[in-house]
Amino acid sequence: MNYQLNKGGNGMRTNVWDVRNYVEDLSTYPHVQEIITGFKAGETIAIPTETVYGLAADATNNKAVAAIFKAKGRPQDNPLIVHIHHQSQLEWFTHDIHAAAYKLMDHFWPGPISFIVPVQQGVLAESVTAGLNTVAVRMPAHKVAHQLIEMTDLLLAAPSANTSGKPSPTKAEHVIHDMDGKIFGIVQSEQVEVGIESTVVDCSQYPFRIARPGAITRNDLEAVVPGCMSDEHIMGDKPIAPGMKYRHYAPDSPLELVDYFESLELSPNEAVIAPLSEKDKVNGGWFFALGATYEDSSGAMYDLYNALRSADNIEQIEKIYITDFTPYNGSDALMNRINKAVTRK
């Protein structure tokens, strides 16, 4: 199915291409050429990946990349991730990748992980790297993303497809909410599998460092190449991924962390986002599930952004509480996102 949003509005007409029945072989989707031609012409198109939906465009086209920044309202000093479908594409725009980085790529790609490596000058649009001498690269595993990159034979720059500062989109409807009328099109698939953005590993110096935690952990990396990860704590005050200095993933209503509770009384304009196991302890207000139990970090990652957006969409809700997983669950990535979303006092 294909339809256009925003008919008669002031903005751009945004195509929605529903490819849910064509995921296995996208070449059989009747409108696939519109998507391919759009990318080649420098249009911005949102696509599903297994982490979150991305807002993609030709990474070598200055205008196309500028349109990504504009649609998101993204600060210019925050570089983008370049998406590839095959390791041979690395030769087009990177150089001198560390042997240990190749080992990690071989093991974890395609998948929810990005590697920061030295960039060749003069290939990518300058704003992709924000003028740095490195570039973040990812090979997504999502079949739709993978096939689109292959069919276009382009390097696709893609940040998460949300308005800057808002929770990343895990469903096509989230992208439509933020991007209708601002981009050329949206490739609609199911809710994404992982639910939070990729792990970003800085491989520009050895040992490597985690620039942004994700579903693939430091221990997972160490298990593949022992000693490859620095002990340095990067989640302190000085973020090495420029994007990490901004408040992120934030709903419009104030969001506050809440500790484990035996029972919780809420007023009709309050909501709590907590593991489903805690639902019966909550009286009044609104409840949104965040995984099954406190131990279920992958379930919580899957639910997080949809829960934040769902709570925000209910006008009556003026205050949101979210549970602190720290004592129960070793996931840096989950608490990293929750801490960035909570309202600073």
CA 25/CA 21 separation, integer angstroms: 9
Examine residue 333 and tell whether it contacts ligand TXA (CB under 6 A): no
Contact status, residue 162 vs residue 180, Cβ threshold 8 Å: no
According to DSSP, residue 160 is labeled B
> Which of ligand TXA, Mg ion, none binds 97 (CB below 5-8 Å, type-dependent)?
none
> Which of ligand TXA, Mg ion, none binds 188 (CB below 5-8 Å, type-dependent)?
none
**Residue window 227-256: x/- pattern of binding to ligand TXA, with contact defined by CB under 6 A:** --------------xxxx------------
Site for ligand TXA in 85-114 (CB under 6 A): 114
Give the range of 85-93, 97-105, 152-160, 173-181 binding ligand TXA by CB under 6 A.
152-160
Contact status, residue 190 vs residue 173, Cβ threshold 8 Å: no
Q: Does residue 110 have a cis bond before it (omega within 30 degrees)?
A: yes
Interface with ligand TXA (CB under 6 A), residue from 67, 84, 158, 308: 158
Cβ closest to ligand TXA, residue 290 vs residue 301 = 301
Cβ atoms within 10 Å, residue 122: 8
CB of 253 to ligand TXA, least distance (A): 22
Cβ closest to ligand TXA, residue 44 vs residue 198 = 198
**SS3 state at 187:** strand
Cβ closest to ligand TXA, residue 61 vs residue 162 = 162
Strand pairing category for 156-157 and 81-83: antiparallel
* Biggest distance spanned by C-alpha atoms of the chain: 59
CB of 193 to ligand TXA, least distance (A): 11
Count how many residues are written for the chain: 345
336 phi/psi in degrees, rounded to 5: -60, -45
Radius of gyration of the chain (CA): 20
DSSP string covering 280-292, please? GGEESSEEEE-SS
Examine residue 160 and tell whether it contacts Mg ion (CB under 5 A): yes
Examine residue 116 and tell whether it contacts ligand TXA (CB under 6 A): yes
CB of 298 to ligand TXA, least distance (A): 15
Examine residue 135 and tell whether it contacts ligand TXA (CB under 6 A): yes
CA 216/CA 125 separation, integer angstroms: 29
CA 279/CA 88 separation, integer angstroms: 49
Give the range of 78-86, 154-162, 180-188, 322-330 binding Mg ion by CB under 5 A.
154-162
Interface with ligand TXA (CB under 6 A), residue from 44, 49, 89, 336: 49
* Contacting positions for ligand TXA (CB under 6 A): 49, 51-52, 54, 78-81, 114, 116, 129, 132, 134-136, 138, 158-160, 197-198, 200, 211-212, 241-244
